[in-house]
């Protein structure tokens, strides 16, 4: 999966893809309309951040490329790629428990904090996309 050169795009299946970890300088795209919402992405080598309607959705340190991002009340799923391991933070439901799968392996049950944030680590190497699925219990 290459970096998303247009910074954000809508896929044929209705998901979104975003991020470019190959950029040396910060780039951003704002007011990207998808599903009646406005998205903003900031991305480069050190960080990728996604907001929906001005609210936090996704952040990775260092930067990543995300394909097939889908978020709903049941959870979040996407495929992520980067050139080094990343810490990913997602905005979910306050205090809820989630079943987490990373790369097809069960990573256990994780709980979002009182702020609704869930943080996980993903082992990445360039050219190898890793599927992530987080389902509410």
Report pTM: 0.95
DSSP secondary structure string, the chain? ----TTSEEE-TTS-EEE--TT-SS-EEEEEEEETTEEEEEEEETTEEEEEETTEEEEEEES--EEEEEEEETTEEEEEEE-SS-EEEEEE--TT-EEEEEETTEEEEEEE--TT-EEEEEE--BTTB-EEEEEEE-
Q: What is the pLDDT of residues 55-108, one digit of tens each?
A: 999 999 999 999 999 999 899 999 999 999 999 999 999 999 999 999 999 999
pLDDT for res 1:
54
CATH class held by domain 8-136: mainly beta
| Ranges of each domain in the chain | 8-136
Q: What is the pLDDT of residues 108-131, one digit of tens each?
A: 999 998 899 999 999 999 889 999
């Amino acid at each position: 999966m290459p970096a998303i050169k247009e910074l954000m795009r809508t896929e044929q299946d209705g998901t979104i893809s975003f991020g470019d970890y190959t950029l040396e300088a910060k780039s951003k795209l704002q007011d990207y309309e998808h599903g009646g919402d406005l998205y903003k992405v900031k991305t480069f080598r050190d960080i990728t951040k996604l907001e929906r309607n001005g609210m936090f959705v996704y952040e990775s340190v260092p930067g990543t490329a995300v394909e097939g991002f889908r978020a709903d009340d049941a959870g979040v799923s996407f495929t992520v790629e980067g050139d080094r391991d990343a810490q990913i933070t997602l905005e979910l439901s306050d205090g809820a428990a989630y079943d987490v799968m990373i790369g097809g392996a069960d990573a256990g049950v994780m709980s979002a904090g009182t702020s609704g944030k869930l943080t996980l680590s993903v082992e990445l190497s360039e050219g190898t996309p890793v599927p992530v699925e987080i389902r509410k219990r």
